[in-house]
Structure 1
């Protein structure tokens, strides 16, 4: 299994692809505590103005806050705005 991963890493590097994207990792981009962009997620499990739970690849992502709002989403990414107090990761 390790050899296969090494091969995939080598292929991604030779094509100039970032390793996080080639592995399908979830990418979080923060702008202070008021906005987070989430890339490579699978589904929205729970959504309210104080709590979100999102299924990512190997874990679930939870976001606690106030006035949380999904500004936009599509099959690849979403943007959440509001007062973000905490973000946590739970194993599936």
Structure 2
């Protein structure tokens, strides 16, 4: 008779060790708090650093969707981030971070 699995748990094939599924949104945040780690690192949340209205550093992105003079849209784990303004330029593009410079007017989660 096969073993019944508890909801929220899975059994790995190789070691038959029970490991917690990170399906619940609060599970990773609770783990970060317990281990005294920043939540954005453990939960893979985006980190935004805005310097005035002329420079934005975005870490933990998932790729640029739209890049225009007045609009930059980026995939993030929480959906999408839309940056609007004038003369927007991507100054730094790395797999884990981008820097947007220009006259930033708004930042919106979509």
TM-score range, shorter chain: 0.7 to 0.9
Q: List alignment gaps of at least 5 residues for structure 1.
A: none
Is the helix fraction higher in 1 or 2? 1
- What is the TM-score with the length of structure 1 in the denominator? 0.83
Task: Quote the residue 1:27 is aligned against.
Answer: 47
Task: Quote the residue 2:93 is aligned against.
Answer: 73
* Deviation per residue, 1:23-69 (Å, 9 max, x gap): 11111110010001001010100001111110111211111111100
Pairwise CA RMSD of aligned residues?
Answer: 1.8
- State the Cα distance separating 1:13 from its structure 2 match: 3.5
- State the Cα distance separating 1:5 from its structure 2 match: 5.9
Structure whose alpha-carbon radius of gyration is higher: 2
- State the Cα distance separating 1:12 from its structure 2 match: 2.6
Q: List alignment gaps of at least 5 residues for structure 2.
A: 1-7, 9-23
Segments ≥4 residues shifted beyond 3 Å = 4-11, 13-16
2:67 to 18, 25, 47: 47
Highest relative contact order (Cα 8 Å, sep 6+), 1 or 2?
1
Structure 2 Cα separation of the partners of residues 47 and 5 of structure 1? 30
